[in-house]
Amino acid sequence: MRRNTLLRASRRIAARARDAWRRTWRKGVRIKSPEEIAIMRQAGRINALALQAVREAIRPGVSTAELDAIAEEVIRRHGAKPAFKGYPGPYPFPATITVCINEELVHGIPREDRIIQEGDIVSVDCGTIYKGFVADAAFTVGVGNISPLARKLLQVTEEALYKGIQQARPGRYTGDISAAIQAHVEKHGFHVVREYTGHGIGRWMHEDPAVPNFGEPGTGERLRPGMVLALEPMVLVGTPETEVLEDEWTVVSADGSLTAHFEHTVAVTEFGPQILTKL
C-alpha cells in the first residue's frame, strides 16, 4: 500500500481539530414533522445523485479534486448547497465532499494532486442543504482489483450500517443501534472508531443525539417517531485508534491499516426506519 506522504499532526493539533468539530454540535433532540422529513428526503435524493455521479467517476488517474467538482455541480444544479463547504473546524472545510483513500477514515480534503490508483479503496462523504435541511451520506468503493481483506472490510462495514438501520425504530434506543453495529464489526475481527459518531440531523448537520458505533443495548436516547439520524459505521482493520494529519482535517488509522465508512440519513417512523439518502 502507498504510504501517506502527509505528516501526522501533533497530539495538540489533533485534539484542537476534534474540539473544533465538537463545537458545531447542536444540543437537544429535534423532532421533525412529516413535512420536514419530506423535505429532508428531497435533500437526501439530491445528495444521492451527487454521490452516484462521484461513484461513476471513480477510476485510476482521477484526482480527488475532480470528484469534488462533480459533486458540487450536481448539488448546485438541483438548487441545493453543499453542506460541508465552509463547515467550521480548525479552519472552514474547503470542499463539497470528503474523500478518503485506504488508511484515511474521514474528513479527507480533495486535492488536485491526490490521484486515485488501481487497488485503492475510496470513501466519499457528502452533505447537501436543501430548503434549510441537511442530508448526509457516505460510501466506500474499491478501485479495480482490491485485496480480499479490503473486500471483506467494505462488505462488513456496509452490512453494519444496515444492522444499525434495522434498530432505528420507535421504542428502541440509540444504544441498540450502536450495539448492533459494534457486534457485527467485531464479529469479523475489525474495529469501530471511538472518537467520531453518528448523529441527529435536520436543520443542522450535527444535532443530538450522538449515535456512537459502540455501546450497550437499551442505553442512550429512546427513539421516537420524527427523529432523524445519520448512522455511519467507521471501521478500521487493525486498531480503533486514529490520528489527524497536518492538514488538521484528515483522520487516519493510527497504524496505517485500511478503513471504511458507510452512512445514510434515516428517519425513525411508526412504519419503521426510512432511508432518506437514496435515489
Cell representation of residue 14: 489533533
Give the interface segment with Mg ion, choosing from 10-18, 28-36, 43-51, 230-238 (CB under 5 A).
230-238
Tell me which of 68, 103, 120, 125 binds Mg ion, using CB under 5 A.
Answer: 125
> 209: cis peptide before it, omega within 30°?
yes
Q: Does 136 bind Mg ion (CB under 5 A)?
A: yes
**CA-atom Rg of the chain in angstroms:** 17
Instruction: Write down the least CB distance from residue 82 to Mg ion, Å.
Output: 12
- C-alpha cell read off for 87: 463547515
Find the shortest distance in angstroms from Cβ 61 to Mg ion.
Answer: 26
How many residues at the interface with Mg ion, by CB under 5 A?
5
Q: Which is nearer to Mg ion, 87 or 173 (CB)?
A: 87
CB of 178 to Mg ion, least distance (A): 15
106 lines the binding site for Mg ion (CB under 5 A): no
- Applying CB under 5 A, which of residues 230, 231, 245, 251 lies at the interface with Mg ion? 230
- With a CB cutoff of 8 Å and minimum separation 6, the contacts of 10 are none
Distance from chain centroid for Cα 121: 15
Q: Where are the alpha helices (DSSP H) in 5-116?
A: 11-23, 34-57, 64-77
Q: Which of 144, 54, 47, 145 is nearest to 100 (CA)?
A: 54
Question: Per rule CB under 5 A, is residue 251 in the interface with Mg ion?
Answer: no
Quick one: 117 or 158, whose CB is closer to Mg ion?
Answer: 158
Instruction: Return the range that interacts with Mg ion (CB under 5 A); candidates 17-25, 211-219, 227-235, 247-255.
Output: 227-235
Under a CB-based contact definition with an 8 Å cutoff, are residues 238 and 189 in contact? no
Task: Output the smallest distance, CB 150 to Mg ion, in A.
Answer: 21
